[in-house]
Structure 1
Amino acid sequence: MELDRRLLLAHCAAHALSVIAGLLVVVPLALNGSAFKGRCALFSQGFWRTENLTVGEGESREVSHLVVQQWGPPAACQFATFVGVFTVLYGAVQGWRSLFYLHRRHDDTLFSAFLTLLLSLCVLFLSGGASVTLTLGLVSWCNTVTDHNTRPYSCAESQSVPLYLDVETSSFYYELNCAQISLWFVAALWLAQSILSFLRLYNSHSQHIGPCLPREKELLLGQTHVDCPHHHLHPHSHPPSVSI
């Protein structure tokens, strides 16, 4: 198996994994956004308050409930969702192109390989930033829910604790944690794709320019055996002499 074919197979596998990982980012975030009525839990600020609330049939008792002072910026959730959606679409398109190239037994042009590398590096930095944003946002929300770990339950266990909010909080940790892990995996895949894109660019550069370099060297050294199509010398001719 040739080097470029191995690289195409590896790139195709990376694209297929990126589609799956991107879906594992988009779907949990969409479910969480629906449960929170379009609000973003990341970086939300709030505090716990204890007061008398009416529970059941006219019965009141002292209950601790969470008061959200300010919901997180929507851009924090939208940024992670954008990276996930782009990864799914790009992975599907590039995966199809890789299969097409495998079938046709050829690879990208030198310019196309360079653009692919440039795009992979750009989205690598975007996915890394989105991963950090989602992780820090989830930590901030967990600190709010657990009152900075002073409550007798963890962030994951707080899903089963009534928070008395007007949103559905029964599965927020599973959804956001799944999106967080998947987004870090997406960032790792973009790193792998950047490396593969660089190797394909190097391979394409070697195929286009490499074969003529030894022949150009022979020409410069004044040797007569030159096969590069751009230079032809008569077998009995001699290189021009340079007088100083």
Structure 2
Amino acid sequence: MELDRRLLLAHCAAHALSVAAGLLVVVPMALNGSAFKGRCALFSTGFWRTEEQAELTGQPGDVSHLVVQQWGPPAACQFATFVAIFTVLYGAAQGWRSLFYLHGRHDDTLFSSFLTVVLSVCVLFLSGGASVILSLGFYSWCDTVTNLNTRPYSCAEYQSVPLYLDVDTSSFYTELSLAQASLWGVTALWLAQSILAFLRLYHSHSQHITGPCGPREKELLLRHSPSESGSPTPPTSATPTIFV
């Protein structure tokens, strides 16, 4: 298989994987936003308070419950979701283009390959930033839930323990941890796509330099090459015809 076809096939596979990874970010974040009634759990702050159980459950005794002082900024959740949605749409479009180029046995132009490299690098930094924000926000929420790991349960176990909040916390750890792992996978795939885009640009540049100029130079050399005898044939002068 030719080099350009191998690069196109690898790029098409990377786009397909990025679509799947992007969906694994969008779906958990959407479910978490619905369960939390539009509130963002990332970077939320709060504390634990012990009150009489009758005020919360109607039964006698004391119970500890989580009090959220301030929910996280919505932009923290929206940014991760935006990067994932862009990955799904862009990956689907570029994957279709790669399949079209594979079927047509040609590749992008030199300028289009350069734009693909620039866009891939930009989205790589965006997805990396979104991954860092999601990870730090998730760790901050877990520190709030576990009270800096002083509570008897871990962050994963607290999705099965009642927090007595006005939101559904029965699957927050599964949703946020899946979104976190998938978003880091998206970042890794954008890194691979940036490398593949650069290799395609380098290959297109090499083809642009050597491809069109080679046959043209060969034609010029053949046109100006001497005859097989080794010396040029002198021009023959026309003999005048004398009419009597």
TM-score normalised to structure 1 length: 0.87
Aligned-partner Cα distance in 1 for 2:122–2:159: 36
CA-CA distance at 1:234 after TM superposition: 3.3
Q: Which residue in 1 is equivalent to 2:74?
A: 74
Letter in 2 for 1:234: H
Q: Which residue in 2 is equivalent to 1:122?
A: 122
Letter in 1 for 2:174: Y
**Structure 2 residue 225 is the aligned partner of structure 1 residue 235:** yes
Contact map agreement 2:56 2:164 (CA 8 A) in 1: no
Q: Which residue in 2 is equivalent to 1:95?
A: 95
CA-CA distance at 1:207 after TM superposition: 0.5
Contact map agreement 2:51 2:62 (CA 8 A) in 1: yes
Cα deviation, 1:169-198, whole Å, max 9, x if unaligned, reads 000000000000000000000000000000
Q: Which residue in 2 is equivalent to 1:186?
A: 186
CA-CA distance at 1:209 after TM superposition: 1.1
Aligned-partner Cα distance in 1 for 2:219–2:39: 65
Q: Which residue in 2 is equivalent to 1:65?
A: 65
Letter in 2 for 1:179: A
CA-CA distance at 1:62 after TM superposition: 1.2
Aligned-partner Cα distance in 1 for 2:154–2:219: 71
Aligned-partner Cα distance in 1 for 2:78–2:166: 21
Equivalent runs, 1:144-155 vs 2, <5 Å? 144-155=144-155
Structure 2 gap segments, 5+ residues each: 227-244
Q: Which residue in 1 is equivalent to 2:239?
A: none
Q: Which residue in 2 is equivalent to 1:37?
A: 37
Letter in 1 for 2:218: D
Q: Which residue in 2 is equivalent to 1:241?
A: none
Q: Which residue in 1 is equivalent to 2:162?
A: 162
Aligned-partner Cα distance in 1 for 2:23–2:57: 44
Aligned-partner Cα distance in 1 for 2:30–2:9: 32
- The residue matched to 1:205 in structure 2 has which SS? helix
**Structure 2 residue 110 is the aligned partner of structure 1 residue 138:** no
Contact map agreement 1:212 1:228 (CA 8 A) in 2: no
Contact map agreement 1:32 1:176 (CA 8 A) in 2: yes
CA-CA distance at 1:74 after TM superposition: 0.4
Aligned-partner Cα distance in 2 for 1:93–1:74: 28
Aligned-partner Cα distance in 1 for 2:215–2:57: 94
Aligned-partner Cα distance in 2 for 1:89–1:140: 30
**Structure 2 residue 6 is the aligned partner of structure 1 residue 6:** yes
CA-CA distance at 1:235 after TM superposition: 3.3
Contact map agreement 1:55 1:61 (CA 8 A) in 2: no
Aligned-partner Cα distance in 2 for 1:22–1:170: 23
- The residue matched to 1:59 in structure 2 has which SS? coil
| Structure having the higher Rg | 2
CA-CA distance at 1:60 after TM superposition: 3.3
CA-CA distance at 1:56 after TM superposition: 8.2
Contact map agreement 1:42 1:140 (CA 8 A) in 2: yes
Contact map agreement 1:48 1:66 (CA 8 A) in 2: yes
CA-CA distance at 1:10 after TM superposition: 0.2
Identity of counterpart residues, as a percentage? 76
Equivalent runs, 1:41-56 vs 2, <5 Å? 41-54=41-54
Aligned-partner Cα distance in 1 for 2:57–2:164: 17
Q: Which residue in 2 is equivalent to 1:105?
A: 105
